Amino acid sequence: MKLHCSWMVVLATLCVAPLCFAMEPVSESDKLGSLPGQPHVSFQQFGGYVTIDEKQGRALFYYFVEAVTDPTASKPLVLWLTGGPGCSSLGGGAFMEHGPFRPRGNTLFRNKHSWNREANMLYVESPAGVGFSYSRNKSFYDDINDEVTARDNLAFLEGWFMKFPKYRNRELFITGESYAGHYVPQLAQLVINSGKNFNLKGILIGNPLLEFDTDINAQGDFFWSHGLISDSTHALLTSTCNYSQIMRWVYNISESLSPECYEVYNKSAGEIGGSVDPFDVLGDICLSSEEVCLTDEVDVYLNRKDVQKSLHAQLVGTPNWTLCYPDSAHFLRDAVIPSINVVEWLVWSGIRASVYSGDQDSRISLIGTRSLLEGLAKKLKLKTTVPYRNWFEKKQVGGWTQVYGDILSFATIRGGSHTAPISQPTRSLALFTAFLEGKPLPDA
């Protein structure tokens, strides 16, 4: 019998004439066993690295969980990017928001609202230097700009599809939150312009930074409408100094702040106080002395050596895994560059775009986001197909929504924080499901 080996399966088969020896697919080496403290599950998990720059020794860490049912038959592939810039998709997206598990003590508990009930979920820690991702020859601060991040994320996708070729033609959705209002549309645009054969269908971004001045100035209106600042302070934020001026200084984008602005800043900060979470203004803050916080649980769990070994993760250039890179807020050089125009380009190109806002987030509030989406729809001359109305999850109002054409939509998540899947997991899952199906959110 004549033996031969196809070049197309070279990754899965090693040929040494005259024999062929079967090898495991590349993805099998990244397959995870049971994580420490994990309950039994039926779906498969993978973790490991994709090298994106050999010369600089740069590699991005990923965590991939297949869908609970029909992972390779019908469920789409969803890439999740947490913002920051410099915050972990593994710790934030996977272990705090919508991954399959949440840690508590030495145990992982099932998240019954995990998004892998509806999709194959791929979490990548980006840019290099965040979480378990690393760059051996360059510091995080050298790499933290939008252009490099988008390029690296595209290289990651190319490398990941080489490991998991069966997902290459699957419907792909790119999702994220916060500063991923830059990461997500920029990567989507790069995917299209690259000509890569990725089956990109849409983007979903939560509480996204899309246009700095509009988004940041909306904080003043949000604080005032929720009773956090006085009428007089709100008037000063309109007439004397706005929040975008203040935040440019706080984030080290501008070198100085005028005395008038500094006075307004101190006045508003004094009225808000230090015991309100700007990412969830109606939620109680976590008092570590009285309770164990979810961020603390995740930090302890992902810094365990046995957990890191199980995840196929390593620490390079840092002694500890951290949820967000230290001081990354001071390196927001590209934050002031609008990304709403990239969303416009994507919609014009036929890519479906959905944006949601947890309505208790003051940092990137629904006020700015809603106005940006309304302006974009008018610019593109999209007709309103679903007028502004409330939507329901079971028998309760889940939030409010509006749809433009069949390609652009906005929704709020009632009671949702900046990271809505933590504070409102049921409503967030309902919104995610509707997005994947391309359907309007349910009405009464």
Catalytic residue among 135, 178, 365, 423: 178
Find the length of the chain.
444
Q: 234 catalytic, yes or no?
A: no
Helices 180-194, 146-163: axis angle to 10 degrees equals 60
Q: 60 to each of 124, 125, 133, 193, 258, how far by Cα in Å?
A: 7, 6, 4, 22, 41
Of the residues 27, 361, 409, 428, which is catalytic? 361
Is residue 361 part of the annotated active site? The answer reads yes
Three-state secondary structure call for residue 97 = helix
| 3-state SS, residue 171 | coil
Catalytic annotation present for 27: no
133 to each of 84, 317, 427, how far by Cα in Å? 15, 10, 31
User: In whole angstroms, how far apart are CA 165 and each of 9, 25, 72, 158, 162?
Assistant: 11, 10, 11, 10, 5
- Return the structure tokens found at 290: 């009285």
63, 132, 139, 354, 422 from 123: Cα distances, Å: 5, 12, 22, 19, 16
Give DSSP secondary structure letters for 61-73. EEEEE--SS-TTT
Q: What are phi and psi of 115, to 5 degrees?
A: -75, -10
Contact, 266 vs 249, CB < 8 A? no
Q: List active site positions.
A: 178, 361, 418
